[in-house]
Amino acid sequence: MTDTIFALATPPGRGAIAVIRLSGPAVESALTALGATKLKPRVAAVRDLTYAGDHIDQALVLRFVAPSSYTGEDSAELHLHGGRAVVEAASRALIALGVRPAEPGEFTRRAFQNSRMDLAQAEAVADLIDAETSAQARQALGQLDGKLSETYAGFRRDLLHALALVEAEIDFPDEEVPDNLARTAGPVLDRLADDLRRAVDTGRRGERVRDGYRIVLIGETNAGKSSLFNALVAREAAIVTPIAGTTRDVLDADLVIGGYAVTLSDTAGLRESDDPVEAEGVRRARLRAEQADLRLWVRAPGDPDGVAADYARPEDLVVANKSDLGSIHTASCLEVLSVSTESGQGLPELHDWIAARLSADLAGADFPAVTRERHRLRLSEALSAVTAARVALDVAPEMAGDDLRRAADALARVTGAIGVEDILGQVFSTFCIGK
């Protein structure tokens, strides 16, 4: 027998309205015990809620009857006056009635277990709640609508089609088998491998939209990295001094540029140093630059050209700072934008340049993007199994069946069709209570 659960679905504290959600088999009896009777399903009605003779609130109540609800179970919502005492009283009454407080994500977990949504959609619910930028919300909504799930289902259909071809040939063996198979199943697998490869490639993009695009400021000491960092985050977050070697630790700030989440990092100036603290700072700066999606090479007039030439990638940008003092000379082929954090010259252009780069990198036409490491690993697994199957087709077709089954398993794990037990806790523990 399933427990009946409840949780505050709105933020805790004082507010205009507080919504308590209930779900489970005892919802109707709990509502009756509170005095909320004669409720037409899915029609809001005002009821005086009472328990043990105490008036709890004059509430708006909404009842859902299984399976037509978010969780697929009998459910209800109590729209209360949003005060702490009212929510407290309602919670105490529900606990006394045997309704227990929900675990984080438990409503959505039940929706998943009652096949109201698959695992990728449940993850999208969490992403949508966490979304702080328009791009994050757009991506999560697409995934909630089932766009990602449809993509995976399409891959699985192709796989099972190929598997059927392989098994048919193996059940009726003759000498022509490898030739026939390569002709029939071969093209199916080639196309599938192409699709999987493209899906894996969208993975970086999807994760960047979700978790933030990593931009690192890097360059010689005193080039003005920390000054630029402060200008971009619009506050005095980093220490700026005329002393070379001021910044040691990597400093991160989250900001939104052009509707995309960005993590911007300020780093220690790159130079050889006998000071172990500074040397460690330089080591961390280099590491961070390697992991970044985009590096801004900050240079002041007179800075040597060397570092950027050694570490830069073609997509990076040289920011020629201190334009009020002069211009830089560079032999590198990177794009150059001149700014002065002192006068503000060039800063709007730099902002626009970054926004344009983000939308070029992240706004793909072929959404839905893969949004999680978990998905990307499984897709890569499926891709390598399909590649192995394609090779086996020509030499040992009886092996191809196993590879294809392995690929189908990997895909089924993404949407939670199989192998759910070991990841359920992990997926839902990151939810907030009441979702």
Ligand X SMILES: Nc1nc2c(c(=O)[nH]1)N(C=O)[C@@H](CNc1ccc(C(=O)N[C@@H](CCC(=O)O)C(=O)O)cc1)CN2
Ligand Y SMILES: Nc1nc2c(ncn2[C@@H]2O[C@H](COP(=O)(O)OP(=O)(O)OP(=O)(O)O)[C@@H](O)[C@H]2O)c(=O)[nH]1
Binding-site entries: 21, 77, 116, 222-227, 241-247, 266-269, 435
Backbone angles phi, psi at 368, to 5 degrees: -80, 140
In the complex, the smallest distance separating the C-beta of residue 122 from ligand X, rounded to whole angstroms, is 11
Contact predicate 402/160, CB 8 Å: no
- Closest to ligand Y by CB, 53 vs 242, is 242
| 3-state SS class at 83 | coil
Considering the rule CB under 6 A, would residue 221 count as an interface residue with ligand Y? yes
Number of H-type helices and E-type strands within the chain? 14, 12
Q: Which residue is nearest to ligand X (CB)?
A: 68
Tell me how far apart the alpha carbons of residues 81 and 83 are, in angstroms, rounded to a whole number. 6
Query: Residue 64 binds which entry of ligand Y, ligand X, Mg ion, none, with Cβ cut-offs from 5 to 8 Å by kind?
Result: ligand X
| 3-state SS class at 212 | coil
Which tokens is 214 given?
């990593």
H or E stretch at 56: strand 54-64
Separation of CA 276 from chain center: 37
Considering the rule CB under 5 A, would residue 202 count as an interface residue with Mg ion? no
In the complex, the smallest distance separating the C-beta of residue 311 from ligand Y, rounded to whole angstroms, is 15
Interacting positions 59-118 with ligand X (CB under 6 A): 64, 67-70, 77
Residue among 95, 325, 356, 360 that touches ligand Y (CB under 6 A): 325
Please name which of 334, 325, 314, 355 lies closest in space to residue 223, comparing C-alpha atoms: 325
# of chain residues touching ligand X (CB under 6 A): 6
**Numbered residues of the known binding site for K(+):** 222, 241, 243, 246
Considering the rule CB under 6 A, would residue 226 count as an interface residue with ligand Y? yes
Tell me how far apart the alpha carbons of residues 199 and 213 are, in angstroms, rounded to a whole number. 19
Query: Residue 224 binds which entry of ligand X, ligand Y, Mg ion, none, with Cβ cut-offs from 5 to 8 Å by kind?
Result: ligand Y
Tell me how far apart the alpha carbons of residues 403 and 192 are, in angstroms, rounded to a whole number. 14
Residue among 69, 227, 265, 387 that touches ligand Y (CB under 6 A): 227
# of chain residues touching ligand Y (CB under 6 A): 23
DSSP state, 5?
A: E
In the complex, the smallest distance separating the C-beta of residue 332 from ligand Y, rounded to whole angstroms, is 18
Contact predicate 44/22, CB 8 Å: no
Query: 146 in the Ramachandran plot: left (φ > 0), alpha (ψ -120 to 50) or beta?
Result: left
H or E stretch at 152: helix 147-171
In the complex, the smallest distance separating the C-beta of residue 319 from ligand Y, rounded to whole angstroms, is 10
- Closest to ligand Y by CB, 8 vs 223, is 223
Query: Residue 410 binds which entry of Mg ion, ligand X, ligand Y, none, with Cβ cut-offs from 5 to 8 Å by kind?
Result: none
Number of neighbours of residue 250 by Cβ within 10 angstroms: 16
In the complex, the smallest distance separating the C-beta of residue 235 from Mg ion, rounded to whole angstroms, is 15
Interacting positions 80-139 with ligand Y (CB under 6 A): none
- Closest to ligand Y by CB, 277 vs 325, is 325
**Interface map 205-234 toward Mg ion (x if CB under 5 A):** --------------------xx--------
Residue among 247, 265, 371, 387 that touches ligand Y (CB under 6 A): 247
- Closest to Mg ion by CB, 226 vs 415, is 226
Considering the rule CB under 6 A, would residue 431 count as an interface residue with ligand X? no
Contact predicate 400/238, CB 8 Å: no
- Closest to Mg ion by CB, 168 vs 239, is 239
Residue among 93, 181, 189, 223 that touches ligand Y (CB under 6 A): 223
Which tokens is 65 given?
């009857």
Cβ burial of 103 (10 Å; 0-12, 13-18, 19+) is: middle
Contact predicate 2/73, CB 8 Å: yes
Considering the rule CB under 5 A, would residue 247 count as an interface residue with Mg ion? yes
Query: Residue 70 binds which entry of Mg ion, ligand X, ligand Y, none, with Cβ cut-offs from 5 to 8 Å by kind?
Result: ligand X
Q: Which residue do the tokens 């506050």 mark? A: 235
Binding site for Mg ion (CB under 5 A): 225-226, 246-247
Binding site for ligand X (CB under 6 A): 64, 67-70, 77
